[in-house]
Amino acid sequence: MSTENAPREKGPVAVVTGGSSGIGAAIARSLARRGWQLVLLARGEERLIEVASEVGAEHEACDVADRAEVERVAKAVRERHPAIGLLVNNAGIPGGGGFLDLDPEQIEAIVRTNYLGSVWCLRTFLPALEAGAPADLVNIASVAGTIAAGYSGPYSASKHAQLAFSRSVGVELAGSGITVHTIIPGFIDTPGFPNRSRFRTRLLQGLVAGPELVAEQVVRAVERNRLEQFVPRWYRPAAIVQATAPALLARAARAGAVRRKRK
């Protein structure tokens, strides 16, 4: 635990996982500007300390894929902050590759971090959320969790699971004073997901947004009680196509895969 980790007289407490860079760091900056007292969690302690110092936050090194570690860290945080007003499940890792070519250990790591990490964090921070009610839970999912196509099957599956978790637990927590919000980003350019480098033309690069846009939508979701939000909004039609015409999307994806193999 950092020697700077002492409770401050500020606004309500927010815990943000994956807070050392990208979307998590952008969320931390946005919440700090609004007076939230922050506790940032992440695996990479060096960068975590930098961001925490920048926004005046507490920090804890934590790998959300490790349930025992999450329980240990959450216990320490709850001792300092028995009541919290917001938990943001943002921690995630990329997973380029398919079910048949990625190492089994990598597939397991993707699932443990992107899906189970959210489950373990909610379960361990739930007493503090209940004590801080009315409180909010924000799960950062992905458009990849609404569409199954291409060669990122394990990552997509982990985000499908996280999306189902977020929607389901929203029902479980109904009437508890804890509101669940699901943010569903499309292509966002971050250190862990350098999406702009994936595209060669400016037109396609224009499809990629910055992490600040996601942070803005997180704040709006909490302040305006929005339960589910695509970022940017125009990604929603892709999810509708997947839900209403899955066979059409599957045929298109398979045809594209065959063409790539023939090249």
Q: What are the phi and psi torsion angles at 185 (to 5°)?
A: -80, 150
User: What is the residue type of 176?
Assistant: S
Q: For residues 87 and 121, is the Cβ–Cβ distance under 8 A?
A: yes
134 upstream amide cis, omega within 30 of 0: yes
Q: Helical H runs in 112-235?
A: 117-131, 153-172, 202-205, 211-224
Q: What are the phi and psi torsion angles at 117 (to 5°)?
A: -55, -40
Give the start-end residues of each E strand in the chain: 13-17, 37-42, 58-61, 86-89, 135-140, 178-185, 228-231
Q: For residues 12 and 132, is the Cβ–Cβ distance under 8 A?
A: yes
235 is catalytic: no
Catalytic residue, chosen from 115, 151, 155, 235, is 155
Between the two ends of the chain, the Cα-to-Cα distance in Å is 53
- Using the 8-state DSSP alphabet, how is residue 192 labeled? S
Annotated active-site positions, please? 155
